[in-house]
Amino acid sequence: MKTNPCAAIIGAGRTRFTERWEEDPKAMIGMAGMKAFESVDKGIKRNEIEAGFFGSFLYQVTNKIGLVPGYMSRELGLNVPMINTEAACASGGLALHNACLGIESGRYNAILVAGFEKMSDRQDKIIDDLMFAADPYEFEAGYNFPGLYATMMTRYMYEFGNNDSRCSEALAQISAKNHHHCIKNKYAQFKDKGEISVEDVLNSRMIANPIRILHSSPISDGAVALIITKPEIAKKYTDTPIYIMSSQETTDHVSLYTRNKITSVMSTRLAVDQALKETGLTINDIDIAEAHDCFSIEEAFFLEDSGFYDEGKAWKNIYESYESFKGSGHIPYLKNGKELTVNLGGGLKADGHPVGATGIRQAFEVFKQLRKEANENQIDREVNTAMCHNVGGTGGIATVHILARDIQ
Amino acid sequence: MSEPIARRNLLVEYRLRTTKCLNCGNTYFPPKYFCNNEGRSSKMLEVDNFYEKGEFYSGSVINEPTNRFNHLDTFVSAIISFRESKIRIPGRITDYIAPKAIKVEEFVGKKVIPRFRRSYSDGRDGLIHYSSHNFSLEDDYYTHQKYKVTKPTNINGKPGIVGYGVYLPKFRIKNDEPALGVLERSLPFADEDTTTFAVESGKRAIIHSAINNNEVRKCFVGSESSPYAVKPSMATVIQVLELGEKMNGGFFSGGIDSQFACKAATDLIIDAAGLVAYPVFKGKYVMVIGADNSQASPGDRLDYTVGAGGVALIFGRDDVIATLDHYLPYTSDTPDFYRREGEKYPRHGGRFTGQPAYFKHVVTSMKTLMKNTGLKNNDINHVAIHSPNAKFPVQAAQEAGFEKKQFETGLVVKKIGNLYSGSTLAALSAILDIAKPGERILMTSYGSGSGSESYIFTVTNQIEEKRKQTISVKEQVENPKKEYVDYHTYRKWKDIFYH
């Protein structure tokens, strides 16, 4: 692995993801930000922050926040550069990527990176709003957002499912696994719901055939914040910074129908490839991953697009990994004795998916796991290297970050 | 959606417009005006897929639609591929009620046909958005028809019908017991209205006529259920079917939406035939469409006779299938049936609609025209009469001295209901479907308010050559894929028109 990181995370804080009816965005962001500051072991002062990078998707329509930089300036009481990023579900991942560029360029020493979303404020209009993450012609064709992933899932099952019921079961197992992962995560939206079974998923309400409600991430409110610094000054703030070894953003067509293939996500493939090349790693060197499971099929795509499993083979391996698991901890994906544990806090499915916060939440989860601070939800094996994978829309953008604790 | 966006979208969506690079052959939807391979040096050609057949690439049954599409309940959205998958377009499968449990993969590879349908509206007082990004399954109710222009062989003859197209929707409702002889009726699917009927029937008429669409210079749409109080369906028909020479996204053609209860369209037949023979007009063809999502107040006796659909006739002088030989109108101010501006449903005068209105006007115009022409009843092979139900036209024909064998072919109302502006034309079309060269057809329409006109046509040899390009009324009436719905669904779909 290369030894020169892009940036270092020195602190992280978040709210619980849930329907936070009584809080407005600034209360959530304030809470996450405060926790991030308080988590810095050796302390950091607010005026050491030289820039803010924020990810949010629907802030304009949901909360009528039109000028995030000015909004954040007021809330933080700072007059430093504030950069807002909107990239649908990858808004958070892109904010982190842009912040890394800010550090790598040498311009900033310390940056506050945050993501937030207040989806419950839009009630039943959110189903239309989510189509901002798609192409207008897809909206005109009657699609809702789950329907687009359902179209990918239909084609995947057509091309690779061999009419085998285990393919459907495997995609349900992803949801069951992620719910299993969330029950010890105190921040998770479905922490109190408890386990769900594969049968629960397969019998749940059909929202966009073949996608059911329990294949889908929920409507969530929440905020997450990180403080990142130049790697060389990170130890001034903490003895255990988590290093960002690679930060990648790639894009592809916003529209499903113009892509050559809809059974994989090219932007993911490109971003993973670039991140692995930059770090000198292979996918087999990654211990844990936070994958973008907005719908369970997307986690299956990640397993193939990242190269962990071959194209069209993920569902069989998911099925076998799930069926062979004995124990009560995290359920890993298996490949020739190698384990890759994905979505340790429950992922988008069970931890929650306040759209703009998700990419930052992934880094938060990894930060806690790699620092062995995940308490009851701490993975029960030694892990050092992690990948965060955040997708916007149906793959119009992907960000991939590789993070590590010990890099020498 | 704002009006400028609507205008830009319709230029693409009405004809399934794509572009193609003339150098490398790359195709693009949405249309791009430079090629990704060739860059600024590329030369792009606009290609439309309006008459093409597509293929289901992948899709989903949308059970919980966006607010825009809530009125459609559950439906299939899909990616449709065209031209051997060189181009893919998102769309919606129409005329299909998706069952709850269905394996969507089983749709992959099925052939589909573009349909012009209503997508959604911007509220009760906003724009209605139409599109051809709706597709019916080829192995379902509708077959695919190829559009091929044929050079006419018989030119500059007597004006008459060059071709016709009948559009009856797939869905039907059965009457528990016959309502004045009407057994079952057609109704609009949730995304159909008068404008979509007009377009679909016009499309069929163009295919049947085998004429060049840009030689049609006038389009009349007669209806009493226009989706807009102000904004002509006719302009939509012209834009979708590209009637007239094209320039700057518009067309050198004109027309009007007309209103005269059920004879809004038939009244203009004489004008159409006159125009094609008038040198100042300079157009070769005129299209006359009668289309209605026939309205009736829920529970009213009309609610058991109304149907839905459209019929288009194209008039010209080349390769005419039936010449127009005689005409006589008869009109009086008789208030038998009316609808005030702003009211949803028409009101009728009960028994007054019979003798003083329908029978008086229909029989007077039929008998007088026959007398004026000197023709005897047995010189007429077929009689087509406006059919508000299956009893009135029989009684009127008999009062005028015609026999069952002359009027029975036109009695399609029994199985499709009263198409209002399309009613007489559907009867005429059913006769044209089987008429032999040399046969005479007497057609008499009726419009409340009130008026009738009678026409006499003579069928030519051309009719048999063009018949293979027709989807006959009988085929549509007896189509094994037609689907029955209950009264609740019928009312719901019929009234989506108002949303």
Instruction: Give the tens place of pLDDT for each residue, A366-398.
Output: 999 999 999 999 999 999 999 999 999 999 999
Average pLDDT over residues A361-366: 98
Q: Which residue of A has its CA nearest to B69?
A: A142
Query: Could you tell me how many residues make up chain A?
Result: 408
Answer whether residue B237 shows pLDDT above 90: yes
Model pLDDT for residues A87-123, shown as the tens digit of each residue: 999 999 999 999 999 999 999 999 999 999 999 998 7
CA gap B367, B397 in Å, rounded: 10
Answer whether residue B499 shows pLDDT above 90: no
Answer whether residue B150 shows pLDDT above 80: yes
What's the whole-model pTM score? 0.95
Q: How confident is the model at residue B1 (pLDDT cuts 50, 70, 90)?
A: confident
- CB neighbours (10 Å) of residue B399? 13
Q: What is the pLDDT of residue A64?
A: 86
Could you list the active site residues of B?
224, 262, 386
Answer whether residue B458 shows pLDDT above 80: yes
Model pLDDT for residues A158-173, shown as the tens digit of each residue: 999 999 999 999 999 9
Q: What is the pLDDT of residue B445?
A: 98
Answer whether residue B100 shows pLDDT above 80: no
Range of weakest confidence among B200-209, B344-353, B449-458: B344-353
Q: What is the pLDDT of residue B85?
A: 81
| Active-site residue flag, A89 | yes
Q: How confident is the model at residue A257 (pLDDT cuts 50, 70, 90)?
A: very high
A141 close contact with B: CB closer than 8 A: yes
Residues from chain B contacting residue A262 (CB–CB below 8 Å): 58, 79
Kindly determine whether residue A137 and residue B119, on different chains, have CB atoms separated by under 8 Å: no
**Greatest Cα pair distance in chain B:** 73
Q: What is the pLDDT of residue A65?
A: 85
Q: Which residue of A has its CA nearest to B191?
A: A142
Instruction: Output b/e per residue, B115-125; b: 16+ Cβ within 10 A.
Output: bbbbbbbeeee
B359 close contact with A: CB closer than 8 A: no
Q: What is the pLDDT of residue B426?
A: 98
CA gap B71, B52 in Å, rounded: 28
Model pLDDT for residues B47-64, shown as the tens digit of each residue: 999 999 999 999 999 999
Helix (H) or strand (E) segment spanning residue A155 = helix A145-160
Answer whether residue A63 shows pLDDT above 90: no
Kindly determine whether residue B108 and residue A131, on different chains, have CB atoms separated by under 8 Å: no
- CB neighbours (10 Å) of residue A45? 9
Q: What is the pLDDT of residue B250?
A: 97
Beta bridge partners of A51: A111
CA gap A394, A148 in Å, rounded: 7
Average pLDDT over residues A191-213: 96
Residue with tokens 């996918």: A283
A208 close contact with B: CB closer than 8 A: yes
Q: What is the pLDDT of residue B57?
A: 97
Task: Check if CATH label 3.10.20.30 holds for domain B160-496.
Answer: no
Answer whether residue B497 shows pLDDT above 90: no
Average pLDDT over residues B38-51: 93
Across the interface, of A131, A142, A210, the residue whose CB is closest to B75 is: A142
A211 close contact with B: CB closer than 8 A: yes
Q: How confident is the model at residue B242 (pLDDT cuts 50, 70, 90)?
A: very high
Residue with tokens 């329990």: A214
Please indicate whether residue B83 or residue B411 has the higher confidence score (pLDDT).
B411
**Are B292 and B419 spatial neighbours (Cβ–Cβ below 8 Å)?**
yes
Question: Tell me, what's the ipTM?
Answer: 0.95
Instruction: Assign residue B84 a region (left: φ > 0; alpha: ψ between -120 and 50; beta: otherwise).
Output: left
Model pLDDT for residues A14-31, shown as the tens digit of each residue: 999 999 888 888 889 999
Model pLDDT for residues B307-358, shown as the tens digit of each residue: 999 999 999 999 999 999 999 999 999 999 999 988 999 998 878 888 899 9
Q: What is the pLDDT of residue B350?
A: 79
Which B residues 118-157 touch A at CB under 8 Å?
119, 129, 131, 133
B369: Cβ contacts below 8 Å, ≥ 6 apart = B326, B327, B328, B442, B454, B456
Instruction: Determine the distance in angstroms separating the CA of B51 from the nearest CA of chain A, rounded to an integer.
Output: 19
A123 close contact with B: CB closer than 8 A: no
Q: What is the pLDDT of residue B351?
A: 81
CA gap B47, B486 in Å, rounded: 41
Average pLDDT over residues B252-265: 97
Q: What is the pLDDT of residue A147?
A: 98
When scoring A132, A156, A158 by the number of chain B Cβ atoms within 10 A, the one with the most, hence best to mutate, is A158
Q: How confident is the model at residue B363 (pLDDT cuts 50, 70, 90)?
A: very high
The catalytic position among A181, A215, A353, A401 is A353
- The CATH fold of domain A7-124+218-404: Peroxisomal Thiolase; Chain A, domain 1 (3.40.47)
Residues from chain A contacting residue B104 (CB–CB below 8 Å): 150, 154, 209-210
Answer whether residue B5 shows pLDDT above 80: yes
Answer whether residue B472 shows pLDDT above 90: yes
Residues from chain A contacting residue B62 (CB–CB below 8 Å): 142-144, 147, 208
With vertex at residue B224, the alpha carbon angle to CA B219 and CA B227, rounded to the nearest 5 degrees, is 80
Residues from chain A contacting residue B75 (CB–CB below 8 Å): 142
Kindly determine whether residue B67 and residue A139, on different chains, have CB atoms separated by under 8 Å: no
Answer whether residue A408 shows pLDDT above 80: no
Mean pLDDT of chain A: 96
Kindly determine whether residue A143 and residue B60, on different chains, have CB atoms separated by under 8 Å: yes
Q: Which residue of A has its CA nearest to B61?
A: A209
**Greatest Cα pair distance in chain A:** 60
Instruction: Determine the distance in angstroms separating the CA of B101 from the nearest CA of chain A, rounded to an integer.
Output: 9
Average pLDDT over residues B196-213: 98
- Domains of chain A, residue spans: 7-124+218-404
Q: Which of A237, A261, A228 is nearest to A395 (CA)?
A: A261
- Domains of chain B, residue spans: 3-137, 160-496
B84: Cβ contacts below 8 Å, ≥ 6 apart = none
CA gap A117, A221 in Å, rounded: 6
